[in-house]
Chain A
Amino acid sequence: MKKKMFNFQPRHWSIRWKLTSMAMLTTAVALFMAIVGNAVYEYVMLRDTIRTQQDMLCEMIGGNSTAAIAFNQAEDATSILSTLRFNSSIRAACIYDGNGTLLAKYVASANELKCPDHPKPEGSRFSANAIETHRTVKLDGKPVGTIYIRSDLRDLYSHLSLYAWISPLILLAAFGTGLLLIRRLQRSVSTPIVALAETARCVSQKNDYTLRAVNPGDDEIGELAEAFNHMLDGIRQRDELIHTHLKELRSARDELEARVEERTADLKHANQNLQAEMEHRQEAERKRAEMQANLVEASRKAGMADVATGVLHNVGNVLNSVNVSTQIVHDAVKGSHVGTLAKAAEMLQQHSQDMATFLAEDPKGKTLPTFFGKLATALAHEHDAILKEIDGLASNIGHIREIVAMQQSLSKVSGVATEVSLGDLIEDAIKINSAGLSRHNVTIERDFDPKTPLVVDRHKVLQVLINVISNAKYAVGGSLERVRKMRIKGRVEDKMLRIAVIDNGVGISPEQMTRIFAFGFTTKKTGHGFGLHSSALAAKELGGSLKAFSEGPGKGATFTLEIPIVKEEAHVS
């Protein structure tokens, strides 16, 4: 059956209907089987009876006709057969002699089938609507002939048809009675179950666990009802427990929520503070960066000014010499004996007609050769002096060019290691500071091998050295020492270049020492606190360091630049 056909599916039926249908089905099946069985039994028994009757008839006819057969007396045999007419179900009867030849026959009606031409072996055979019996007739134990009788089965069929009519009536009657009985009897089973189901439905619909099923008795349904009630008790108890727990949980949750809110507020506050702090710090950072940028810019400008000052100072010094030389040349040319030569020449022109006379006779003329000799000596002397001054001038102008070229080379962008000798490197640094050094009358003691070859970032090293020498210059300048001196020591050891600038200047106090490389620290009136800071950074960029050492104020100081030259050497080789 399909699931949609709700009514036909027994599992959807009510208990009452199930019980009824079960009982009725059982009754119907049992009755049906009984009826069918009985019909089969009746049929078999009737057939048996008919067969027996037929056998008896054959036996009787056979006995009666033995002599007739033996003596071949057809009339007698026929007359014996004619007695069969009283039995309406016999349709035909025949007697055969020992050879199977028909001796006598009887037929119930003219349209009846004829006797078979030859008898068959002894026995009864049922066909659809007839029974045929052959019976051998014996005389003194020997077969002498055969009796054949054919009967229709009208008795059998009439009996069966009667049965077929009565059976449904019996079935109906039994079914009706059964229905009445089961309707009454099934109540004892279905009513308690239906009641229990009703209670369960009420409980589930109303969610009322206080309802209880009525116990119908001590059978299984009673046990079920009891178990159900017990279960309801359990559910109710659990319900109450859950209710209590739920209440506790709810209050705990509320408390937790309050705490969380409180905590959240705290955190929010803290967060706000943090935010403000951060903004504050960012602002400070920004300001600091701005300041630094400003400072860097200022120091760059200042540095440029320093460089410019140095250049101008140096150039100015040279220009003094140039100026002096120029004055000397000017004076020399101004006081030249060229005018006297011109007067002598004029004199000679006037006496061009009588040159010989004039030179020989005139007193003035007579002095002229001597005069020319002396003049030549004076002019030669003058020429030498001027030439010497012009040489000095050229040298000074070359110096100026050199200074300018140095400045240009320093301002080149670097970062690339170049080949340079230790002497050139240190001399360049000194040369930049030469004006200041000579002004402060500082003696420089050179303690290095100028020919030591190096491959370094010249600009960065120079930047550090210039700065350190400049600082030393100021340190010794401010010192009370009578002899202002500075020692520059350069060594290459263990693939490290170390250049130490040692002065006998003002020295560094321990508290200054801690901040000496810090940005913005300065002791100079016009300082920016940028020089050492940037020098230290440059040293670090070179992969080395810049260290300061001082025994204390007034005891001088030593700045040591230490950078590796490993890579550079490898590069060079």
Chain B
Amino acid sequence: MKHRRGILLAAILGLGALNVAAAQTRADAALEQQVKSAFVLNFLQFVDWPEGTLGKADEPLIVGVVDGAGPWESLNAALDGKTVKGHKVVVKRLSAGAIGKCQVLVTGNLDGPDLEAVIKSLGTASVLTIGDSSRFTSAGGVIAFYLEDQKVRFEINLAAAQRAQLQISAKLLKLARVVNK
């Protein structure tokens, strides 16, 4: 199992190395989704949660996916069962109306009032929010994907991260477009 998963990860990363433009020309949205899934896993490594948030070592790191966020199979495949910072990653589908306990929340295509409502519901909880919407950071999300030169890039809302008491690594910040909203 572990071995197969390794191969899978390698495949994903390898795909990630491919030109996103090529993926788009082939109009392969699935590939883009896979790249983003791999990015999410990477984000987990460069973000530090406040002490106690992640709980004990045997407690899982819950990545929640909001209903209507779009296809999440690739995310599930990329993250589920992985170990990050000593915690097992568990991907859960969450209802937008009742977001339970989670450390990461992927909102996906969620936009507009729904998005704002979800983020608002989180308050100052230490939850790393990740979304695709162009207005995601403005809505108070932490990391937002965007496309530039047909490549997947991301934007980090430092203020939102500080509100959520999340420490984002300088290495990650160096790669991102940093905003303060």
Contacts and interface: CB of A to CB of B under 8 A. Distances in A.
Contacts of A67: 42, 46, 169, 171-172, 174-175
Contacts of A72: 13, 16-17
Nearest to B169: A67
Given A67-B46, A67-B169, A140-B45, A76 B174 contact: yes
Contacts of B169: 67
A66 B46 CA distance: 10
A99 B17 contact: yes
A71 B175 contact: yes
Interface string B40-67: 0010011000000000000000000000
A101 interface: yes
B84 A140 contact: yes
Interface string B10-38: 10011011000000000000000000000
A137 to B, nearest CB: 11
Nearest to A70: B42
A76 B13 contact: no
Nearest to A65: B171
A551 B71 CA distance: 194
Interface centre among A99, A101, A103 (most CB of B within 10 A): A99
A66 B174 CA distance: 11
Interface string A39-78: 0000000000000000000000001101110111100100
Contact of A98 (B13, B39, B172, B175): B13
A214 B28 CA distance: 113
Interface in B90-149: none
Contact of B175 (A73, A103, A139): A73
B37 to A, nearest CB: 13
B61 to A, nearest CB: 12
A98 B85 CA distance: 19
Contacts of B85: 140
A76 B153 CA distance: 12
Determine the main DSSP class of B at the interface with A.
helix
Interface residues of A, number: 17
A66 B13 contact: no
Contact of A68 (B14, B16, B175): B175
A64 B10 CA distance: 22
Contact of A76 (B17, B45, B46, B175): B175
A67 B175 CA distance: 7
A562 interface: no
Interface string B150-181: 00000000000000000001011011000000
Contacts of B174: 67-68, 76
A152 interface: no
Interface string A101-116: 1010000000000000
A64 B171 contact: yes
A70 B17 contact: no
B42 to A, nearest CB: 4
A103 B16 CA distance: 12
Nearest to B154: A71
A97 interface: yes
A139 B17 contact: no
Contacts of B42: 67, 70-71, 139
Contacts of A73: 175
Contacts of A99: 10, 13-14, 17
A97 B45 contact: no
Interface of B: 10, 13-14, 16-17, 39, 42, 45-46, 84-85, 169, 171-172, 174-175
30 contacts: A64-B171, A66-B171, A67-B46, A67-B172, A67-B174, A67-B175, A68-B171, A68-B174, A70-B42, A70-B45, A70-B46, A71-B39, A71-B175, A72-B17, A76-B174, A76-B175, A97-B13, A97-B17, A98-B13, A99-B10, A99-B13, A99-B14, A99-B17, A101-B14, A101-B17, A103-B17, A139-B42, A140-B45, A140-B84, A140-B85
Given A68-B174, A73-B175, 20 more contacts: A63-B171, A66-B171, A67-B42, A67-B46, A67-B171, A68-B171, A68-B175, A70-B42, A70-B45, A70-B46, A72-B13, A72-B16, A72-B17, A76-B174, A76-B175, A97-B17, A98-B10, A98-B13, A99-B13, A140-B85
